[in-house]
Amino acid sequence: MSTDAPDSSTPTEAPIKLSAVEKIKQESNYLMGTIDQELKDPVDHFNNDNLQLLKFHGSYQQDDRDLRVKLKKSGGGKAYSMMLRCRIPGGRLTSDQLVAHLDMCDELGNSTLKITTRQTLQLHGILKSDLREVIKRVNECGLSTLAACGDVNRNIMCCPAKRVGAIHSQLEQFTDELTTALAPQTPAYHELWITDPDTGEKTLADGGEPTPSNNPVIDEPLYGPTYLPRKFKVGIALPEDNCIDIYTQDLGFIAVVRDEKIIGYNVTVGGGMGRTPSAKKTFPALAKRMAFVTPEQAIDVAKAVIIVQRDNGNRSDRKVARLKYLIANWGIERFRSEVESVFGEKLADCTEDDVHGFDDHMGWQAQGDGKWSYGLNVENGRLYDNEKIQFKTAFRKICAEFNREIRFTGHQSIIFCDIEESEKDRLIEIIQEHGIPTTEQTSTVRRWSMSCVALPTCGLAITESERRLPSLIDSIEEPLAKLGLSNERFTIRMTGCPNGCARPYNADLALVGRAVGKYTLFTGGGWLGNRMAEIYKDAVKDDEVVDEMIGLFAAFKANREGEESFGDFCSRVGVEKLAELAEAAPRP
């Protein structure tokens, strides 16, 4: 399969006007920019061009929006800091790696650590002057931040369940091989963060990034000098366990299993959650099924998909630059044909295998080797210590006593692996000693909810999300119990803006920031993740959200058919009828 860009001498249509970000990438010398110079500058923030390049290195610049007004009144600037995201394929890491991040968040961050919706970790509150030290320490513990953000393939999601046997072993191996195959090759990351800035000497054993020679030849055979038009996300799932939301990914691989072995994958393309309500040309989309590939074909087909997007995605308007827009414009048949052309041969059609189950991997689960894993619900993924709950202290103790493998889920929670039968009570004891509700003590609705970070650090947030969802769940737990729906499983997802980082648009029920103090309510998706939700009501005031939700639950209780799920019910009746039923239903 060729990964070369098209011959620039070939006659083409008139050149399009590139977006500003495309020009920055084009002139960046393969992501180097002037970051090195700015790191030496005592100013507390980076310039706009380098901010775009830093994303590829795993970092976003933010400021504490809670302090903006106060600082402005006092004549000061913004309270700048950096967010740093790791690349942790499939959410798998060691106890030592988790402890290293807990150390960094205390010593060089704002003392909280965030498990993300893509099975990785985010450090917040890092000062610009400490950024090099933090990235160095991430690499020292055997991880990396390269390609955790930016216009490249990001952290690859995969079912985090630890199971003995060929199936999960194949999934994990494929995840690791695909991560390596789709990684950027620029030496800029190594030169900026892995070598001594004064001597140029390598200072640590890095997380597997390309090491430049004395006279490196920069070559990005997969991405080219301007990388992709927009971010790119990959996920790997099992039909019976779509815990990573395969249909929201730009590129997905659904394992096809026969006789306890993966014989190939059904490939999906074109998922993506972001939208801009004021721009009608934007929309969220679920991926489309494209073709079946064998394990031997899978990596080269993944590269072919990326190359087609690289060479044909919109580079003039970033709002419509994701793969989903190219597929919407072309249609899946043309897209598949282009992928086959790059790949070099025809692909087989998808098998009948599709997602039909979802396991959040919470609570005790047998690994198949006589040992157990324990999935602990972490509300919205935030790890912190306060007078009531001490996540960080508890996790340090667990890591010290057990020193076992750790895994993160796509719902921002944590799995402790390789627990002996005789150790189960001790693990729960440590969790409870530190005020943390066990998964068994967590309500079903809270367990199946999640949010994005939003305020105060996300620059795109319009409304609250992570700081609002817990109290919102508090308000609906009792009404759900009175309706007899405490054990009903449905997803509630909340985001502070329409970009959809918590994957709201395929949830049973979602709240998406619309304007200050107002949300758009979506209904009719589902916990399985293969159906889009619809707008139920727009611009709902924050203090009216709970009442609207209770009305929906009451309508569901009074009008559901058989054992249909909440999302199925909302989809069946439609948003107009749903509003009528919610108005008429008796409230608890």
Active-site amino acid positions: 85, 154, 231, 233, 452, 458, 497, 501
Please give the full DSSP string across 4-66, using - where no structure is assigned.
Answer: PPPPTTS--SPPPPPPHHHHHHHTSTTTTTTHHHHHHS-SSS--HHHHHHHHHTTEEEEE-GG
As a three-state string, the secondary structure of 127-161 is CHHHHHHHHHHHHHCCCECCCCCCCCECCCEECCC
H helical segments located in 354-436: 391-402, 424-433
Please give the full DSSP string across 487-533, using - where no structure is assigned.
Answer: T----EEEESSTT-TT-GGGSSEEEEEEETTEEEEEE---TTS-S--
Buried b / exposed e over 544-567, threshold 16 CB at 10 Å, is: ebbebbbbbbbbbbebbeeeebbb
Which candidate, 75, 8, 19, places its Cα nearest to that of 315?
19
What six digits make up the tokens of 507? 């949830």
The label of the residue with tokens 């393969």 reads 30
For residue 390, the SS3 value is strand
Residues forming beta bridges with residue 519, ordered by sequence position: 513, 540
Under 8 Å CB-to-CB from 348, ≥6 apart: which residues? Answer: 291, 292, 293
For residue 365, the SS3 value is strand
Q: How far apart are CA 412 and CA 59, in angstroms?
A: 20
Q: How far apart are CA 398 and CA 393, in angstroms?
A: 9
Would you say the C-alpha torsion 226, 230, 231, 233 has a positive or negative sign?
negative
